[in-house]
Structure 1
């Protein structure tokens, strides 16, 4: 009886709690297209199961009101893995996979932002452009699968970016634009409309915000940048309270007529840092000497001081930083007196205070800029917010994530193992068939021809013996066939003997020699960077081949007529060849051989030519990727100052003696190893590449050893330990045996 009463009371409490918030709180997260470049992130990594809304930033709004993809390569072209590992072309193509994971998820496209707001004022001010914008936006949703749009106008009337157009009647025109967009959405059958508003009063023009917000589903309050690298003094990046803070901005907007249930504070998953910060007040509200290089900064962006939460956690664990809680602002900072560096970030304690504030003020939910900077799973801010709003669902989701070896996973693994075994068996069978059925070279044919007359005489003798021994037992047809075989063998022997006597086979190449030659040529070619250097390397290589009588470099009369696919063009007699390709521009090689090429020899020489084309294409691709060149420069330019490179969540952190904190690049460790050999970077762990000259010693650690590099200790994985001891015995001289 008591249990029933307790259960009834508990159910009433749950029902009251659920009814206290209507609708359910929104969990909104942003994914900017440039995260696919600078962050090395994928849209498919977004925590779709924990979100109600995912906003993709940004689309491009043209002057006439046309909506187009903001970055065609990232949005529509870049190949990325989607659901179940299937490859998809562009981020937009990954949206259906997100909905498979969460059918309730709404995916919105954002326009505007600090750098993309220029045309909004012109479009909103012109009735014809407004109509065209609404039609273009609805068509955009249909074509690419979005559920709506967020308009991130920074900022009506007062302006933001120096190039942004602004008018005194921007707010009135904005209201008309939103009303027409709502009418278009309703006629379509519904879509989500969101806008952003700034927390600073100076960036909000006076106006009728109640009427402005009426057509809108929710409003993202930009609570991410109260202070940054541009600020003359240090401060909190996202304080709950301040002058103003998020709370004060919410109060002002509510007083202006914005419903609480539509307000969604947008919080940062990134921290900001300053260097040269004096110690008073633990570095808070102090002058500074600028921002350090952030997680993804490069020579083009300059130092922004922006770090991901994961990078901040690593820096805090190094011991130089001390945590300080500001009870008035409900915000947390890290300060290092040794480095004179301050970091402001969204700590778990500060984030919890904001979640409680959202509950207390009955706001519309919470947002996060942006998902690629958040930590994955339940440890990140999105994971904490989901656990706060939906504790039971979060517990179940966490259980599924932490216990992946359920029956479906075991079935999938078993299927994969069977597929691998089947593939291995097929490859082994194919190899055996190839070994027994491969084409012979000209030299092998000459050797066979030299011994063929003796083999034919033996065949004739065996046929005669079989016929004489079994004449009485064999049927007449078989007896006649043996007679014909013996006669044919002797006749063929008489015809081939003069040819066999005239053939002097060249030295046969040992098995595997041509493969070794190809590998040697590739090694020589990899040291060349210019087209002329590559062709000269090929000429030097061919000069040592006894099958090549002459080789010289030519220039094509008309490079435009050079075909794009054929790399080795043989003459009809197969004694001469021309090496040409579109990637070689006007450069060609003319080859003359000592004898007609066999099919196998043609494959070998064609492979040599393809090596040149492949390396040339790689260099051309590299030259067309300034981001890649910049990242390789970040590594190569440090030379003796480089310590190690660490992999983490899709990017690599460069640690060097001249860096107060690591800089990050999108190249993975396996990609870096293609550009730097073991004398420059050696792998000691699946997550670490180390410059050998930076290692100062080795010490024992729990379960293994660590390399001592400056103030860092880099773990050595057991599979690498044996080879490292052989190659670098000096590292281990001081380590206890």
Structure 2
């Protein structure tokens, strides 16, 4: 009889919205005035209830982990899926099934684009997105507990005035909100990531856009949020790390109110456009850097100082390096004069950019030399002949992840998984950089080496 009663209490406990320990239910019904015999029986019942509590707690924890796919992960790990990486040859080819759902908590599909005439979101690459079912394959990651957003924009699509026209026209905004809602529903996503680079500062040129972009963008976010919240969809935006852009592009308190997270693109601080070598994503200011604002720590503090809620800030990290061609191969330190971007990698073939797995191969197999600054302000750089590249290695990703935890931020974001060593070509394990981020923030197996390419 006692066991049956406990089982009934167990059913009541686990079917409640919040699980109530059975021992708590038993004790709450105790009658202190009963006989000694009854008190002994009651004591045995409490012990049995505590044993059941232990078993039920383990079962519930495992069940919730299976349902969410991310267990008790506190921090966001946002991974961008690029629909052009599958065109790469050989081991560089990347498809939706290459995403590790044990590491990424959120995936953003990069990208859909804005139709300049209709002011509507539209498919960018129908061959990949529709014919090869990439939309469907990414959206289906929800079955594994990963939240999938549609991304709109990107650097190339941010050229011109179409986003500005849309946000500054109430009719166009309203039409966009209605149409993008249908688009997301049609393809099975559960969120939207806005990657307009940037309000007023179109492709970093702040003289090109009107000041009204700032307010128009905020209104768009409010209107999208009003539609998304009842559907329990998530709304996010990728934003600039540059304080000069932040000041004129974003109403930060408004972003903090309406967005679920703000993805800080804290990379590309330096590149071939500088005409001298520099680090792609320094963590702290380096004395040799002429701009004290161009580092991750400063960007984080600036966004928080402008009023962004700290748990909404998601810090971006590059899975790639920025490469340069040295003007003089014997002058190969920081701030060395350059003659433009470095040569494209053997797989990615993009001048000025090397995937982490290409950098690792260059260091391990082609014997590029590596250096680190003694002050720990940034990741390593590597060089050979007239080629030079700066990047983050495993220990640098860990340091940035520890900073996220120390400041109580929302998580980390990577651009992009297909640049990490996702096939373990360098022998440091699959996804060494992403694994460093995920394990530092949310636990789980860590990379088995301290660094892979330095």
Deviation at 1:318, TM superposition (A): 3.1
**2:396 equivalent in structure 1:** 350
Closer, same or farther in 2 for the Cα pair 1:252/1:327, shift >3 Å?
farther
d(CA) in 2 for partners of 1:248, 1:161: 18
**2:108 equivalent in structure 1:** 55
**2:42 equivalent in structure 1:** none
TM-score, normalised on structure 2? Answer: 0.73
d(CA) in 2 for partners of 1:280, 1:357: 35
Give the match's secondary structure for 1:219: strand
**1:204 equivalent in structure 2:** 246
Deviation at 1:266, TM superposition (A): 1.0
d(CA) in 2 for partners of 1:164, 1:29: 32
> After superposition, what is the alpha-carbon deviation per residue over 1:311-352, rounded to whole angstroms, capped at 9, x for unaligned?
11111113632222224463233333x513321011112112
**2:154 equivalent in structure 1:** 113
Is 1:312 aligned to 2:359, yes or no? yes
**1:331 equivalent in structure 2:** 378
> After superposition, what is the alpha-carbon deviation per residue over 1:11-51, rounded to whole angstroms, capped at 9, x for unaligned?
xxxxxxxxxxx981100011111112235211111112211
Give the match's secondary structure for 1:204: helix
How many residues get paired?
Answer: 357
How do residues 400-549 of structure 1 correspond to structure 2 at under 5 angstroms?
Answer: none
Of structures 1 and 2, the one with the larger relative CO (CA 8 A, separation 6+) is 2
Is 1:253 aligned to 2:303, yes or no? yes
**1:390 equivalent in structure 2:** 442
d(CA) in 2 for partners of 1:91, 1:163: 35
8 Å CA contact 2:83–2:110 kept in 1: the answer is: yes
> After superposition, what is the alpha-carbon deviation per residue over 1:379-438, rounded to whole angstroms, capped at 9, x for unaligned?
4211112221233x448xx99xxxxxxxxxxxxxxxxxxxxxxxxxxxxxxxxxxxxxxx
Deviation at 1:135, TM superposition (A): 1.1
**1:286 equivalent in structure 2:** 336
**1:224 equivalent in structure 2:** 267
Higher helix share: 1
Is 1:155 aligned to 2:211, yes or no? no
Is 1:381 aligned to 2:381, yes or no? no
Structure 1's consecutive aligned runs of 4 or more residues displaced over 6 angstroms after TM superposition are 161-165
> After superposition, what is the alpha-carbon deviation per residue over 1:35-83, rounded to whole angstroms, capped at 9, x for unaligned?
12235211111112211110111112123331111111110013xxxxx
d(CA) in 1 for partners of 2:445, 2:367: 35
d(CA) in 2 for partners of 1:123, 1:310: 40
Closer, same or farther in 2 for the Cα pair 1:378/1:314, shift >3 Å?
closer
Deviation at 1:208, TM superposition (A): 3.4
d(CA) in 1 for partners of 2:220, 2:416: 27
Give the match's secondary structure for 2:215: helix
Q: CA RMSD in A?
A: 2.6
Deviation at 1:162, TM superposition (A): 7.3
d(CA) in 1 for partners of 2:409, 2:396: 17
8 Å CA contact 1:210–1:257 kept in 2: the answer is: yes
Closer, same or farther in 2 for the Cα pair 1:363/1:30, shift >3 Å?
same
> After superposition, what is the alpha-carbon deviation per residue over 1:226-285, rounded to whole angstroms, capped at 9, x for unaligned?
112222111000111122201001111111001111111111111121122546774211
Give the match's secondary structure for 2:110: strand
d(CA) in 2 for partners of 1:255, 1:161: 22
d(CA) in 2 for partners of 1:358, 1:77: 39
8 Å CA contact 1:114–1:154 kept in 2: the answer is: yes
Give the match's secondary structure for 1:160: coil
Closer, same or farther in 2 for the Cα pair 1:210/1:280, shift >3 Å?
farther
Q: Which runs of 5+ in 1 are unaligned?
A: 1-21, 79-89, 400-737
**1:30 equivalent in structure 2:** 80
Q: Which runs of 5+ in 2 are unaligned?
A: 1-71, 286-291, 423-428, 449-454
> After superposition, what is the alpha-carbon deviation per residue over 1:625-676, rounded to whole angstroms, capped at 9, x for unaligned?
xxxxxxxxxxxxxxxxxxxxxxxxxxxxxxxxxxxxxxxxxxxxxxxxxxxx
d(CA) in 1 for partners of 2:346, 2:172: 38
How do residues 290-305 of structure 1 correspond to structure 2 at under 5 angstroms?
Answer: 290-295=340-345, 304-305=351-352
8 Å CA contact 1:44–1:98 kept in 2: the answer is: no
TM-score, normalised on structure 1? Answer: 0.46
**1:123 equivalent in structure 2:** 166
Deviation at 1:96, TM superposition (A): 4.8
How do residues 550-569 of structure 1 correspond to structure 2 at under 5 angstroms?
Answer: none
d(CA) in 2 for partners of 1:224, 1:73: 30
d(CA) in 2 for partners of 1:145, 1:165: 36
Closer, same or farther in 2 for the Cα pair 1:162/1:353, shift >3 Å?
closer
8 Å CA contact 1:316–1:334 kept in 2: the answer is: no
